[in-house]
Amino acid sequence: MFAELARVLRPGGIPAGVDSLDGEAFRELHLDDTCVPIEAATLPDRLRDAGFTGVDVDTDDRRLRFSARVAGFGAARPG
């Protein structure tokens, strides 16, 4: 998903997001639906591997926040 996001955003584009951290309350909220928690520890490398720069991932006791930037003009981007 991150590679596709990097592909479709313009150079310099900034994706940002917020999600709850995985835990019992989070899982209860998602009973009977698709639950795909984001692993905060691996998120920075996943974003960089998808072609983003300026990756920022921040967590507190309940949630994670992230932002990054699509590589600018002339920079190599994964294909």
Q: What is the 3-state secondary structure (H, E, C) of the chain?
A: CHHHHHHHCCCCCCCEEEEECCCHHHHHHCCCCCCCCCCCCCHHHHHHHCCEEEEEEEECCCEEEEEEEECCCCCCCCC
pLDDT of the chain along its 79 residues, tens only?
999 999 999 999 999 999 999 999 889 988 999 888 889 999 999 999 999 999 999 999 999 999 999 987 554 555 5
| Whole-angstrom distance, CA of residue 50 vs CA of residue 30 | 27
What's the whole-model pTM score?
0.80
